[in-house]
Structure 1
Amino acid sequence: MGIWASKEPPPPMVLVPPLFDFPPLGARIRMLESSYNLLFGKLALKCLFEDYFDEARQYSTRILLKPLDDPHVDIIATFRWQSDVHDPHTFADLFVANADPVLRIRSSAYYPKYGVGAFGIIPLISKRRVIPDDYGVMGLRYGSGNLSLGLTVTPFPKSDIFPRTAWLVSKYGRLTAGLQYEPLYSTKDDSKLINPKDWSCAVGYGLGSGSPLSPSFNFGLELANSSQFVASFYQHLVVQRKVQNPFEENDIIGITNYLDFGFELKTRLDDNSTTDKSSDSTFQIAASWQANKNFLLKGKAGPRGSTLALAFKSWWKPAFTFSISATNDHTAGNTSFGFGLRVENLREASYERADPNFVMLTPSKEHVAESLLWNDRKSQFYQSDLSSGNFDGLPKELRPLGKIL
């Protein structure tokens, strides 16, 4: 008679949920923006302070669809095409609306081998053309892991402001420093380049790879237009908690959560008696907690009001995200509500499995990500690989946005 070998119980595992949104909408158009405006934690703070905080007494709807027969095309109140499904840096989109501009085209081409790119924003049909920006903006940029520089111009029609913007940002280790020229007024004075109000400078100190699975933080100090001092801080935490879902298997003992925290302090330095004193110094703080793949809780507070938002995401196909926000106006003393609905089919839900010490990630049968790397992978993915910057074994929503400064 044979002896039945005792089957070892499965190892304890920790769920790693997908992100609520990936890539962030800001990342989809970051090649159209100055690198100075996107670094120093500004992009992360913008998403933290604005996403899912629906305007009071308003109902907003956002639709993000991808045709099943062409993954390079999606629609989000615009028609968008990009050259690679996983790379949002080379794209073209067409915007049509009853607002101004009525018809607008935006395009970006970036060549990572050389680190150079070109982009443009052209309003084809507009109700009014008052300032040079109403005729379009074109720009050139160079970007690598440690350096970014570029400029934009307004060639239609010929503008007295040249360039429209110019920036230089450099990174050394954890330290980032940048300088930006952005003229506030149109003038034919040859000395306009030395006008201090047209220049901004910033320095930042940060740690992190940019992957959602790696904790990170960024602290920045900025002197904007020689008249405003800005201090900001943003931190992304990855924590594990005990699973409270009775429908999970016994070997699932925990789940990974994403916590984000940030604040921004702005103080005016110039003594202008005509300036609104209420805007001389402002301070706002915000926090976000993604409990699992379905629930996100956010809150922010400032001197004028505070807002609490709750978002629920259903991972059907297409996926629906419903959000509700409550805003308390500190000056009027009343509370109002806002609602939002988002529809998208860019990706599917996928829980990853990790051991309780977060040593390695292994794909599960539930993983249905579009990336084919999981099918060809021969080895397991270790935390040491994650720390060294090797993200090839991760699905696209857990990778960094890109090694471009």
Structure 2
Amino acid sequence: MGNIMNKEEPPPPMVLVPPLFDFPPLAARTRMLESSYNMLFGKLALKCLFEDYYEEARHFTTRIMLKPIDDPHVDLIATVSGPLDHKPDEKITGNALFRWQSDVDDPHTFMDLFVSNLDPILQMRSCAYYPRYGFGAFGIFPLLLRKRIASEDYGVMGLRYGSGNLSFGATLMPFAVKDELPKSAWLVSKFGRLTVGVQYEALNGSKAGAKYKNLTNWSAAIGYGVGSGSPLSPSFNFCLELANSSQFIASFYQHAVVQRRVKNPFEENEIVGITNYIDFGFELQTRVDDANTSKNIPESTFQVAASWQANKNFLLKGKLGPLSSSLTLAFKSWWKPSFTFNISATRDRIIGKTAYGFGIRVENLREASYQRADPNFVMLTPNKEHLAEGILWKSGKQPMLQSDVNAGNFDGLPRELRPLGKML
């Protein structure tokens, strides 16, 4: 009788919340070396959507990304890439990047050394950022080059300021002549969900005064964004940009977080659903200046891409353009270190042929966080009864899953699932 009264309650239904394949993106680790203008307006997300895991036709890429267990402040990324078939005009490229990071959780203060069998043979980059004051300084210095032709070959330095609603900065070449100062400058500000920015790049003109007045050295953009930047929260970004007064660029990017039913014989019976991530992006570029003044810029082009992460192991991506279309499939094993294999197919519409490429990655820089009955999701009334009701699947309905992620509370999230930062 006592055993009947003390019968254990059945476990509540659970929803699996897998980690993203690559979050945060590797490009975010060096974003303090870049203009905020080049990283905002959905540009970083679109770059990852259009480029990651798409291997060049008839080429391969092998990348090893490791850090020692005893010292997590340093890591090494080594890459070998080249053609699958031997070509006299192409050779295998190898490079390595050794990085030291001051804070394991803050990638904004670091120093790295880059070595390669191509120029630059040896390059050093460094950045120091002080969140309390919002100011930072950075530099890129090619130490070994076969030829030093331009002033940029002797190094680039920059200063920046960043806060939650404002970012501005400038870069200069310390060994450049007076007419080449500054190399670039930017100003970006955020007003609620609107982000506006302007950027100057000394690309055209012979004298400093002429460069400032040359409109082809100026770019401006405005974007509308919704979302937190965490992969557990949906996001949307729409942007209009006039680049170098010669190209009009319209783009949008959407990250969707959906949940579907799952019947996996390898999981427990209480596993009733899994979270999926679906990304969609579109970019249209149209030339707005005189066709005779910029023959190297196409009249108009576009590209559209989508990706679907079914679980922690499989990622499917596809993109479409006027000249070619590509499809890639990636498989990832979350061992320590993790192994990723991807194969991509590219269809060239001009010659009417399909070519393949593949890549292999080994990594332990980013750790997985695969959740069951995800503790990051907090019910409004956190008791077992409401937990069971909250994620119980009903026919034809989505689960009523509440989350404090929507309120901007990311303290309970693993480091890999937090937003990239609360500053521009």
- What TM-score comes out, normalization by structure 2 length? 0.87
Q: In the aligned structure 1, how far is the partner of 2:126 from the partner of 2:279?
A: 32
Measure how far apart 1:273 and its partner are: 2.8
Measure how far apart 1:189 and its partner are: 5.2
Q: Cα distance 1:201–1:347, how it changes in 2: closer, same or farther (>3 A)?
A: closer
Q: Is the 8 A contact 1:13 1:254 kept in 2?
A: yes
Measure how far apart 1:163 and its partner are: 0.9
Q: Quote the residue 2:49 is aligned against.
A: 48
List alignment gaps of at least 5 residues for structure 1. Answer: 363-381
Q: Quote the residue 2:256 is aligned against.
A: 237
Q: Cα distance 1:195–1:188, how it changes in 2: closer, same or farther (>3 A)?
A: same
Q: In the aligned structure 1, how far is the partner of 2:367 from the partner of 2:220?
A: 41
Q: In the aligned structure 1, how far is the partner of 2:134 from the partner of 2:402?
A: 29
- What TM-score comes out, normalization by structure 1 length? 0.91
Measure how far apart 1:246 and its partner are: 1.1
Residue correspondence of structure 1 range 83-162 to structure 2 within 5 A: 83-158=102-177, 160-162=179-181
Q: Which moved more, 1:41-50 or 1:154-163?
A: 154-163
Q: Does 1:216 align with 2:235?
A: yes
Q: Which moved more, 1:147-156 or 1:124-133?
A: 124-133
Q: Secondary structure at the match of 2:109?
A: strand
Q: Secondary structure at the match of 1:279?
A: coil
Per-residue deviation, residues 242-261 of structure 1 (Å, max 9, x unmatched): 11421110111000011110
Q: Quote the residue 2:70 is aligned against.
A: 69
Per-residue deviation, residues 5-61 of structure 1 (Å, max 9, x unmatched): 222111111000011113211101111000001111101000000000011100101
Amino acid at match of 1:84: D
Amino acid at match of 2:251: S
Measure how far apart 1:277 and its partner are: 8.2
Q: Does 1:256 align with 2:268?
A: no
Per-residue deviation, residues 303-344 of structure 1 (Å, max 9, x unmatched): 010000000011122111000000000111000000001111
Q: Quote the residue 2:214 is aligned against.
A: 195
Q: Secondary structure at the match of 1:327?
A: strand
Q: Cα distance 1:231–1:273, how it changes in 2: closer, same or farther (>3 A)?
A: same
Q: Cα distance 1:216–1:337, how it changes in 2: closer, same or farther (>3 A)?
A: same
Per-residue deviation, residues 327-383 of structure 1 (Å, max 9, x unmatched): 000111000000001111124433113479x65499xxxxxxxxxxxxxxxxxxx94
Amino acid at match of 1:96: V
Q: Is the 8 A contact 1:122 1:135 kept in 2?
A: yes
Q: In the aligned structure 2, how far is the partner of 1:145 from the partner of 1:62?
A: 34
Q: Quote the residue 2:386 is aligned against.
A: none
Amino acid at match of 1:195: N
Measure how far apart 1:272 and its partner are: 2.2
Q: Cα distance 1:274–1:330, how it changes in 2: closer, same or farther (>3 A)?
A: farther
Q: Is the 8 A contact 2:204 2:214 kept in 1?
A: no
Q: Cα distance 1:278–1:227, how it changes in 2: closer, same or farther (>3 A)?
A: closer
Q: Quote the residue 1:308 is aligned against.
A: 327
Q: Cα distance 1:295–1:114, how it changes in 2: closer, same or farther (>3 A)?
A: same
Aligned pairs, number? 386
Q: Quote the residue 1:22 is aligned against.
A: 23
Q: Quote the residue 2:10 is aligned against.
A: 9
Q: Quote the residue 1:37 is aligned against.
A: 38
Q: Is the 8 A contact 1:210 1:400 kept in 2?
A: yes
Q: In the aligned structure 2, how far is the partner of 1:267 from the partner of 1:86?
A: 40
Q: Secondary structure at the match of 1:84?
A: coil
Amino acid at match of 2:2: G
Q: Is the 8 A contact 1:220 1:232 kept in 2?
A: yes
Q: Give the ranges of 4+ consecutive aligned residues of structure 1 lying more than 4 Å apart after TM superposition.
A: 274-278, 358-362
Q: Quote the residue 2:195 is aligned against.
A: 176
**Root mean square deviation of aligned Cα:** 2.0
Q: Does 1:398 align with 2:399?
A: no
Per-residue deviation, residues 102-139 of structure 1 (Å, max 9, x unmatched): 00000111111111111110000111111222111100
List alignment gaps of at least 5 residues for structure 2. Answer: 78-95, 383-400
Q: Does 1:268 align with 2:269?
A: no
Measure how far apart 1:384 and its partner are: 5.1
Q: Quote the residue 1:375 is aligned against.
A: none
Q: Which moved more, 1:294-303 or 1:128-137?
A: 128-137
Percent identity over paired residues: 72
Q: Secondary structure at the match of 2:211?
A: helix
Measure how far apart 1:280 and its partner are: 1.2
Q: Secondary structure at the match of 1:134?
A: helix
Per-residue deviation, residues 225-279 of structure 1 (Å, max 9, x unmatched): 1111000000000000111421110111000011110010000011223644881
Q: Secondary structure at the match of 1:29?
A: helix
Per-residue deviation, residues 74-95 of structure 1 (Å, max 9, x unmatched): 0012110101112111111001
Q: Is the 8 A contact 1:320 1:344 kept in 2?
A: yes
Q: Is the 8 A contact 1:216 1:235 kept in 2?
A: yes
Q: Is the 8 A contact 2:369 2:414 kept in 1?
A: no
Amino acid at match of 1:70: D
Q: Is the 8 A contact 1:160 1:186 kept in 2?
A: no
Q: In the aligned structure 1, how far is the partner of 2:379 from the partner of 2:326?
A: 38
Q: Which moved more, 1:285-294 or 1:240-249?
A: 240-249
